[in-house]
Amino acid sequence: METTTREFKRCVVVEASGRIDSATAPELQAVFDELTEEGKCNLVFDMGDVDFISSAGLRVLINTQKTCQRLNRGRLVLANVPGPIYEAFDLAGFVALFDFYEGQVEAVGSF
Amino acid sequence: MNPRCFKLLVSMRQEQTRVFPARYESLTAIDQFIVDAAERAGFANCTVYQVQLAVDEACSNIIEHAYGGEDRGIIECTHRIQGGDLTIVLRDYGQPFDPAAVPEPNINADLEERAEGGLGLYLIYQIMDEVTFDFDSQAGNVLTLVKRKEDIC
Cβ of A23 within 8 Å of Cβ of B27? The answer is yes
- Distance (Å, whole) CA B113 – CA B102: 17
With contacts defined as CB-CB under 8 Å, which chain B residues touch A52?
31, 49, 52-53, 56
**Please, what are the domains in chain A?**
2-109 (3.30.750.24)
pTM over 0.80: yes
User: pLDDT at position B138, please?
Assistant: 84
Q: CB distance from B131 to chain A under 8 Å? A: no
Cβ of A59 within 8 Å of Cβ of B120? The answer is no
Q: In terms of residues, how long is chain A? A: 111
In this structure, the strands spanning B141-147 and B85-92 are antiparallel
Query: What string of DSSP letters covers A47-67?
Result: EEEEEEE-HHHHHHHHHHHHH
DSSP letter at B13 equals: H
Q: How many CB atoms lie within 10 A of CB A95?
A: 15
pLDDT, tens digit only, all 153 positions of chain B = 666 666 655 555 589 999 999 999 999 999 999 999 999 999 999 999 999 999 999 999 999 999 999 999 999 999 999 988 999 999 999 999 888 888 889 988 989 888 777 899 999 999 999 999 999 878 899 999 999 986 666
User: pLDDT at position A14, please?
Assistant: 98
* Residue among B28, B45, B49 whose CB faces A19 most closely: B28
ipTM computed for the complex:
0.94
Which of A55, A61, A63, A67 to probe by mutation at the B interface, max B CB count within 10 Å? A55
* Residue among B31, B108, B112 whose CB faces A66 most closely: B112
CATH code that applies to domain B19-147: 3.30.565.10
pLDDT digits (tens, 9 = 90+) for A14-48: 999 999 999 999 999 999 999 999 999 999 999 99
* CA end-to-end distance (rounded Å), chain B: 40
Cβ of A21 within 8 Å of Cβ of B107? The answer is no
Domain segments of chain B as ranges: 19-147
Contact B18, B32 (CB under 8 A): no
User: pLDDT at position B10, please?
Assistant: 57
* Residue among A55, A83, A85 whose CB faces B57 most closely: A55
